[in-house]
Structure 1
Amino acid sequence: MTDRVDTEPVYFGRLRPGDALSDPSWVLRRTTSEVGSVDEILGRDGEWQTSDMLARTERGELPGTLELLGPLLPSALASVAQRRFRAVRRALDRQQSGDCLLRVAVPGTGSAYQRLDDEARAETVAFLAGAPLVVSTADGDFRTDGMWVWPESIAQQVLATGDPPEDEFFFHIHERAFCFPEEVLPGVIDRARGLLEMAAAGVGSGRVQEASVPGREPPPTRAERLRALGAWHAEWQAKHAGSTPFRPERYPGDSDYNQHYVDVEASPEADWEYTVRAREIMGLDPETGQPLDL
């Protein structure tokens, strides 16, 4: 009996109209051996999973074009997807725990996104109709993901027309990779109901949203964040001054070097330590630098 020998995977990008080869909508691969072939797709979490998408696209059952990719780009795209998905998980944990301001999405169509194809439509509808239930009323169900509150009728609008929801809300859905917490704390549901009551009563103008998270300190102002950032920079410089090379001969005539040589010469590990804490101070995800409240 001969040993099974697998070939190297062959990678494909499945492109929607307007996609760049360097950033395809889907990354697929096929591994072939003596006993057959295995097709996989790179998931939004950056992990490979079995899928029939490649075969279905080859048969013309799914739209889009297939383009061959080398092995390096899929590896890089997987690393990016994993990093982004870790940020999504951190954001969802905050939403689940009630650490985010709530705001109400309204029915209607945005202008920044094109009409959704069947697959994007299905993903969007699954998000809109699957998130935790806030309340059922005569006007329909309302749902929340711990940051946005919306009428489920938006899902019906997307399904019927293919038009995406309002821009700010749809951007959020994209940023969360179409994911939501399976449940949120009861207090989040209570807050969401309160917002819906305000919206129904026509309280205020513009978007109905919370001014602050109840029972928690208001977020720092930008001025407060910048002061904290300055203090962290001074602390970080003092911490690494003794272990950072001092090379003024490389910067003749630079009068600022003596004061800022740690910024210039610090090790990659020290640089990353500074970056992570600086992002946290400024209200950004520590790994990706993305805003947390989108």
Structure 2
Amino acid sequence: MSTPAGDGAVYFGRLRAGDAISDPSWVLRRTSTGDEILGRDGRWRRSDMLARAERGELPGTLEPLGPVLPGVLVTLVQRRFHAAWRTIERQQAGEFTLRLAVPGTGSAYERLDDEARAETARFLRRAPLVASGEQGNVRTDGMWVWPETIAQQVLETGEPPEDEFFYHIRARAFLFPGEVAPSVIERARALLAMAAAPDGRVREANVPGREPPPTREERQRALSAWHAEWTAKHAPSTPFRPENHPGDPDYAANYVDVEASPEAEREYTARAREIMGLDPETGERTDL
């Protein structure tokens, strides 16, 4: 079986329902010293998951990975983890509007197996506590606020929470801050006291003391301003090669976009993503 050059390990992807080989639920490897699992944080740890999957004790299938894919998947997991924690740190500080999740299920995700139920319930039951009363606990991760009873619903039925909320949980790799700012807890309690909107959605209009999030039109204007600033900054150091583009009448006006160095392109892309409300490294949305 092929393995990454010089690695000496045999790699497997563990695929559950809906997984693709290019994005398995878990990446596993067998080394000369034992079996390991690639954690959500991109670090390898000892685990018996591979042996249990081989014995048929876990849902899903095992697929061997070729010599290239394991390295790609490790990088992908690490990038997702760092992106999740960048956003979680902002949630912890109270930089996002809060929204209330309500009991009920969505339609975008398949029924959860026992493993996914446990992982989802752990998130729902261990995030910072907002309030506790006759109706049970209410928790928050600094972006969503939810009744802990949703965890029991997940465990008993296997149905995931509503679509947007479950998308958020998955996008954060089932991670949450150990604590949030006291002001976030106060805001979450105020959210619970709000009258429900006609569609059942309760959500802050904006973070208290701050302007509402920019509209798409405002983001587009900011993006245009950033492009102009970036172009002026890099024009003196960017080569002008009109001879290589004889049929392009717009080359003179846009040559910085065409000829910019990889470093300059990365600078532009990272800031452009931030302006549009995306993670600067991955380009994924941070406000969901």
**TM-score interval, smaller chain:** over 0.9
CA drift at 1:23 = 2.0
CA displacement, residues 56-102 of structure 1 (integer Å, 9 cap, x when unaligned): 11122222222211232111111111111111001100110011100
TM-score w.r.t. length of structure 2: 0.94
Distance 2:42 2:7 in 1: 22
Partner of 1:218: 212
Match of 1:54 among 45, 50, 56: 50
Shift of residue 217 of structure 1? 2.6
The correspondence for 2:246, drawn from 242, 252, 272, is 252
Q: Hey, what does 1:131 align to over in structure 2?
A: 127
Deviation at 1:234, TM superposition (A): 1.0
Q: Aligned residue for 1:8?
A: 8
Which region of structure 1 is more displaced relative to structure 2, 201-210 or 174-183? 201-210
The number of aligned residues is 283
Supply the distance in 2 between the matched residues of 1:219 and 1:17 (Cα, whole angstroms): 37
Q: Give the superposition deviation at 1:205.
A: 4.7
What residue is the counterpart of 2:3 in the other structure? none
Answering whether residue 95 of structure 2 is matched by residue 96 of structure 1, we say no
Measure, in 2, the Cα distance between the counterparts of 1:45 and 1:192: 28
Distance in 2 between residues matched to 1:240 and 1:173, nearest whole Å: 40
Asked whether 1:181 is paired with 2:177, we answer yes
Q: Which residue does 1:242 correspond to in 2?
A: 236
User: 1:238 is aligned with what amino acid?
Assistant: A
Mapped partners of 1:64, 1:43: distance in 2: 18
Aligned residues: CA RMSD: 1.5
Of the structure 1 ranges 224-233 and 154-163, higher mean CA displacement relative to structure 2 is found in 224-233
Q: CA deviation at 1:18?
A: 3.7
**Structure 1 stretch displaced more, 264-273 or 210-219:** 210-219
Matched to 1:113, the amino acid is: Y
Report the CA distance shift for 1:209/1:50 in structure 2 as closer, same or farther (over 3 A): same
**What's the counterpart of residue 168 of structure 1?**
164
- Choose which of 60, 78, 86 in structure 1 pairs with 2:74: 78
1:3 alignment counterpart:
none
> By how many angstroms is 1:143 displaced?
0.6
1:277 pairs, out of 246, 271, 281, with 271
**Structure 2 residue runs without a partner (length 5+):** 1-5
Task: Write the distance in 1 (CA, Å) between the matches of 2:196 and 2:98.
Answer: 17
Identity percentage over the alignment?
Answer: 72
Larger radius of gyration: 1
1:156 to 141, 152, 157: 152
Give SS of 1:67's match: strand
The Cα shift of 1:127 comes to 0.3
Report the TM-score when normalising by structure 1: 0.92
Inter-CA distance 220–249: structure 2 relative to 1 (3 Å threshold): same
Unaligned runs of 5+ in 1: 1-5
- Partner SS, residue 13 of structure 2: strand
Q: CA deviation at 1:184?
A: 0.6
Name the stretch that deviates more: 142-151 or 235-244: 235-244
Cα distance in 2, alignment partners of residues 293 and 280 from structure 1: 11
Residue range with higher mean Cα deviation, 105-114 or 213-222: 213-222
From the superposition, tell whether residues 206 and 64 of structure 1 become closer, same or farther in structure 2 (CA, over 3 Å).
Answer: closer
